[in-house]
Amino acid sequence: MSSTTTNTSDSEFNYSESDIAQKFLFFNVLKDGRIHVLSPPTTNVPPSCNSTANVLTKDVNISESVSARIFLPSSASTADKLPVLLYIHGGGFCMMSAFNEDYTRFVSHVAAEANVIGVSVEYGLFPTRPLPACYDDSWAALQWVAAHSKGEGPDSWINDYADLGRIYVGGDSAGANISHTLLAKVGSIGLGYEGAKVEGMILIHPYFGEDDKMWMYMCPTNEGPKDPKMKPAVEDLARIGCDRVLVLLAENDGLYGVGKMYTEELIKSGWKGKLQIMENKGKDHCFHYSNYLDLEAIAIRKRIASFIHNQG
């Protein structure tokens, strides 16, 4: 489960410019029907590569198509149960993995610094599994977490140590987009498990955009240029299913504008919760993963920790 590699190796593609039918930011569509994801393959690491002391890590299967990496602070106690962060990685819906080094390190750092149980979701990627698979898989993961609310779920760590009345859902870039969609669904139909509640949502450098042709290609069942998954609808924003939202923006991020617009439209929607915004000056998209020792990256993790514990 944690020793696979995502995306197809460049060595399996040998084509010329004339063989390309369509070009997108993250992949080329070839005339013979193959899709070449341009990012280098993601090499995954086992849970034992967790770089954070005092955090236990393991991988679990949620379904045949969904898995997760769980992070448990070693100080966890059955007498003082911990909130849960369901984390959804980014990567343009077609790259990256919850099991790679950067995401393993990030979620383990957050688990340690925020004293929270991390559940990092491994969802299906385009083109192997076209959208909306990533949304469906992430919803299945959230339902799986919530199913432990009576202490009778499939995972002992969550049964024994998690406070399912304090679930947080968050992600970066595409993962932030998915997080919004999940919380709009929670606000519409609920979680379906007594005692389970999403308390907050954390969006890091969110990926939204009207008339995004790449996203529409990845999602054959899209609803057009204003699909609410990419262009959040007012009614979805108004019913976001939690009381608090934290949006993190990076000044030099190409997605800064759509992230800022999201916060403005959330305020105007009539949503009754509390919105917090953190902006990192002079920083680019998702800088905090590779530059995890950067003072601003450390500040992001501290802000997430304070948000989870409602300290600011």
For the question of residue 253 being annotated catalytic, the response is yes
Distance in angstroms (rounded) separating the CA atoms of residues 117 and 177: 22
Written as six digits, the tokens of 169 are: 């859902």
Task: Report phi then psi at 19, rounded to 5.
Answer: -85, -5
Q: Which of 89, 106, 56 is nearest to 207 (CA)?
A: 89
Helices (H), the chain: 101-114, 133-146, 156-161, 174-189, 213-218, 234-238, 256-268, 287-290, 295-308
Task: Produce one character per residue of 159-184: b if its CB has 16 or more CB atoms within 10 Å, e if not.
Answer: bebbbbebbbbbbbbbbbbbbbbbbb
Q: Would residue 10 show up in a list of annotated catalytic residues for this protein?
A: no
* End-to-end alpha carbon distance in the chain: 38
Clarify whether 227 is annotated catalytic. Answer: no
44 DSSP 8-state letter = B
- Tell me which of 137, 155, 236, 253 is the catalytic residue: 253
Active-site residue, selected from the candidate residues 173, 180, 205, 227: 173
Q: Of 102, 285, 294, 306, which is the active-site residue?
A: 285
Where in the sequence numbering do the catalytic residues fall?
A: 173, 253, 285
